Each structure stands twice: as structure tokens, then as C-alpha cells.
């Protein structure tokens, strides 16, 4: 049974703001909200989230692209790796217990949060388009697996990876992350639907209701000073880490 529409619209609006502000899909909002407010189990919530983040990410990405804040060159190896990871992760979603993976990601997210909050700013705008981009592929495979298994972790891992490892500014990393999320969520959603997971009606209500919020928030995000953006993102990562391991209904 589809959850109440006002609840789904509210989830979508909040997820749209988070997606555009932090360059993520919004799963860190959608998954716990579906579990807590709509009574969905973890696997169904993750699968529905993957369906919903497509339109959310598209709207937010357009907002960044209008300001030229999307790096296609950096996105390509991330897309390649994330697609492989999403394929693997959606298969494992029906097979594996998620407890250990939740803790692995939570520790990773918390460590990155500390680095972003207290480390010196290393993303100076001198973007690395050299051979080191090839290392993004295996990193993105791992990110794609975790994203498919937990419903969070795509943008939350990609944004700091691009900032700290490849010199992208906070804004450019967020816009690029949103581009990567689009094909990854499409493939993951198709795989989940084939496995009987996910609710298309709920995902449409969430995704479509959050599109305007995502597009509008992107206009604010591109104007944030990088230091403020980094610390806000660090707070978001702490939230993601706690949300990932917090006890919830199975």
C-alpha cells in the first residue's frame, strides 16, 4: 500500500534540499523516513530511495550545470566504476545481512567528516585531469556497492574524494557527483525492480515533489563559501554515519 501522499511530498522536499546542498542523491533522508514514517522495511526503503534519487539528482545537477559546475572528465571514470558497483550491490542486496557494511561505511563517513571539518582546504581549483583519474574507477566500484546496499554513500563518498584527491572545489565536486548519480541510480533501480524491490508510485511522489526544491537549493549552494560548505558537509556526513548504524526496523 502506498504511503500517505503528504508524507511522501514532505520527504521529497527535504531530500531535494539535501541533494542539491550536498551533491548527494538524498537517500540519507529518504531511507530512514520511509522506514520510520511509512513502515517500510530496510530493503524496500533502499530500493525505493534508488528510484527516487534519479529525478532529485537530475534537477540538482541542472542547477549546478547552469553555473558550469560539472566536470564531465572526472565524472566518466566515476560513472564507469559506480555502474559496476551498483550492479554488484543490487545483487547482494537480496543476499547479505547489512550490519557489517553499515558499520564499515559509518566509520569511513565519520573519518571523512573529521577531515573535512578540521583539515586544511586542499581543493584550490587546480583540477587533476591526469592519469591518476584511473584510480577513481576501483574507488567508484566500492562506492557503488555501498550505495546500493545502504541507500546512502554515493555522493557522501564521492564529493570528499574529488575534493581531497583531485583538487575539485566543493561546488564543482557536488555538481559532478550529481551527474554520476544519474546513471548509477537508473541501473540500480532497474535491477531492484527486477528483483521485486521498490515502490514506483512512492518514488515518483518523492522524486517529483523534490525536483523544484533541488533546483532552487542548487542556486544557493553554488554561492556558499567553500569553508562553510565543507563544514556543513562534515555535519551531514556525521548524520549519515549515525543514520547508517542507528537501530531500525528490519
* Blockwise average pLDDT, block size 10, the chain, 250 residues: 82 91 83 85 88 93 95 97 95 78 74 72 68 95 88 81 89 94 93 93 94 91 79 82 64
Q: How far is Cα 243 from Cα 232, in angstroms, rounded to an integer?
A: 16
What three-state secondary structure class fits 103?
A: helix
Round to whole Å and give the CA distance between 57 and 211. 8
Contact of 184 with 154, CB cutoff 8 Å: yes
Angle between the N-to-C axes of helices 136-150 and 154-166, in degrees from 0 to 180, rounded to the nearest 10: 160
Inter-residue contact 222 to 173 (CB < 8 Å): no
Give the pLDDT score at 213: 93
pTM exceeds 0.95, yes or no: no
Joined grid coordinates for residue 141: 566500484
| pLDDT score recorded for residue 124 | 55
User: Using CA atoms, how far apart are residues 89 and 147, in angstroms rounded to an integer?
Assistant: 8
Please report the pLDDT score of residue 250 as a whole number.
42
Query: Hunting for cell 517529483 — which residue is that?
Result: 208
Amino acid at each position: 500500500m502506498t504511503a500517505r501522499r503528504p508524507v511522501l511530498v514532505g520527504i521529497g522536499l527535504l531530500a531535494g534540499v539535501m541533494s542539491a546542498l550536498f551533491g548527494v542523491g538524498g537517500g540519507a533522508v529518504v531511507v530512514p523516513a520511509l522506514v520510520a514514517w511509512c513502515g517500510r522495511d530496510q530493503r524496500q526503503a533502499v530500493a525505493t530511495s534508488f528510484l527516487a534519487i534519479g529525478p532529485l539528482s537530475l534537477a540538482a545537477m541542472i542547477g549546478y550545470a547552469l553555473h558550469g559546475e560539472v566536470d564531465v572528465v572526472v565524472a566518466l571514470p566515476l560513472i564507469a566504476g559506480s555502474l559496476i558497483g551498483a550492479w554488484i550491490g543490487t545483487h547482494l542486496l537480496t543476499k547479505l545481512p547489512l550490519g557489517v557494511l553499515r558499520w564499515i561505511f559509518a566509520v569511513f563517513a565519520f573519518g571523512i567528516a573529521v577531515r573535512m571539518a578540521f583539515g586544511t582546504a586542499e581543493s584550490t581549483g587546480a583540477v587533476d585531469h591526469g592519469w591518476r583519474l584511473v584510480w577513481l574507477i576501483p574507488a567508484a566500484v566500492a562506492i557503488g556497492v555501498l550505495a546500493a546496499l545502504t541507500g546512502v554513500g554515493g555522493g557522501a563518498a564521492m564529493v570528499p574524494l574529488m575534493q581531497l584527491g583531485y583538487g575539485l572545489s566543493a561546488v564543482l565536486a557536488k555538481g559532478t557527483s550529481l551527474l554520476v548519480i544519474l546513471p548509477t541510480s537508473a541501473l540500480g533501480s532497474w535491477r531492484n525492480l527486477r528483483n521485486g524491490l521498490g515502490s514506483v508510485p512512492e518514488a515518483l511522489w518523492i522524486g517529483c515533489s523534490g525536483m523544484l526544491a533541488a533546483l532552487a537549493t542548487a542556486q544557493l549552494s553554488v554561492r556558499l563559501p567553500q569553508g562553510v560548505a565543507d563544514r556543513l558537509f562534515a555535519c551531514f556526513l556525521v548524520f549519515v554515519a549515525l543514520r547508517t548504524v542507528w537501530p531500525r526496523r528490519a
